Chain A
């Protein structure tokens, strides 16, 4: 176990092909979120992910408010593309299509 990496991964920017602004809200404990993150990584696109369950309370509230705008049921994963289109859940086909694959 890597003690320096304990529970600190709140999110990250992953560099890749520019397909617009791709932002995934997820939970670190949710397997569907991991699958979505893996899909985006495998597609090699430039994206950002945020693990909402690992944020501090005020950061979490902020993230939830932003997410509510796109997905009122506040469910995860929610992938927001170019601040306009939100894909709720691990929807491989929809995500691929939205990113032009």
Chain B
């Protein structure tokens, strides 16, 4: 693995270390766990930093990014697939995040199937979503709801406000990763 490390562009060990520590702290604070295999995990952090340089955002290191932010919103780390994968397999697709069972060594981490739908399906889903959003926008909010409800697509946090929060208070995902839910 040495050879790949040397080939990565100008990402110092110190930077990897700093980001790893920050990520670990944030994860633990919100009830998540990073993979306890530190070498493995730091390699993934290196991948995230490489993608940040390449694309300007934390595209998932184990998926092919398009370079188009809107198209890749679902695979910005933490991706929309992390939580369902943690539930089903005990790890996210890259195995950057792992479940309690893995931490307790009751389950082993392995390479898991890809949950992200193929491109055409994703495009169709996006079109449907924006249609729904438009519909909601024009719908009179009846006596039932005094405010629209926004859903964080990373962690499911719901917020009933005129606008989605700038940053998710739970998982720190940015505003563009919220959808109009109700």
Say whether B95 faces chain A, with CB atoms less than 8 Å apart.
yes
Show the binding face of B for A, using Cβ within 8 Å. Answer: 1, 3-4, 6-10, 40, 43-44, 46-48, 50-51, 54, 61-65, 94-95, 110-114, 116, 118-119
In-complex Cβ contact of B111 among A6, A28, A32 (8 A)? A32
Contacts A29-B50, A75-B114; is A34 near B4 (CB within 8 Å)?
yes
Contact residues in A for B9 (Cβ distance below 8 Å)? 6-7
Q: Mark A69-84, 1 if CB is under 8 A from B, else 0.
A: 0001111100000000
Contact residues in B for A5 (Cβ distance below 8 Å)? 6-7
Is A30 within 8 A of B116, CB to CB?
no
Say whether A17 faces chain B, with CB atoms less than 8 Å apart.
no
Is B47 within 8 A of A73, CB to CB?
no
Task: Give how many A residues have a beta carbon under 8 Å from the other chain's beta carbons.
Answer: 28
Is A90 within 8 A of B51, CB to CB?
no
Contact residues in B for A32 (Cβ distance below 8 Å)? 62, 94-95, 111
Q: Is the interface of B mostly helix, strand, loop or mixed?
A: loop
- A60-97, CB < 8 A from B: 64, 72-76, 88-91
Q: A30-B47, A34-B1, A53-B64 are in contact. List 9 more A-B contacts (CB 8 A).
A: A28-B4, A31-B40, A31-B47, A73-B118, A74-B64, A75-B63, A76-B64, A89-B113, A91-B111
Is B64 within 8 A of A27, CB to CB?
yes
Is B64 within 8 A of A52, CB to CB?
yes
A91 to B111 CA separation, bound complex (whole angstroms): 7
Shortest distance in angstroms between A58's beta carbon and chain B's nearest beta carbon?
Answer: 14
Contact residues in A for B54 (Cβ distance below 8 Å)? 53
Contact residues in B for A8 (Cβ distance below 8 Å)? 7
Contacts A6-B9, A64-B64; is A73 near B114 (CB within 8 Å)?
yes
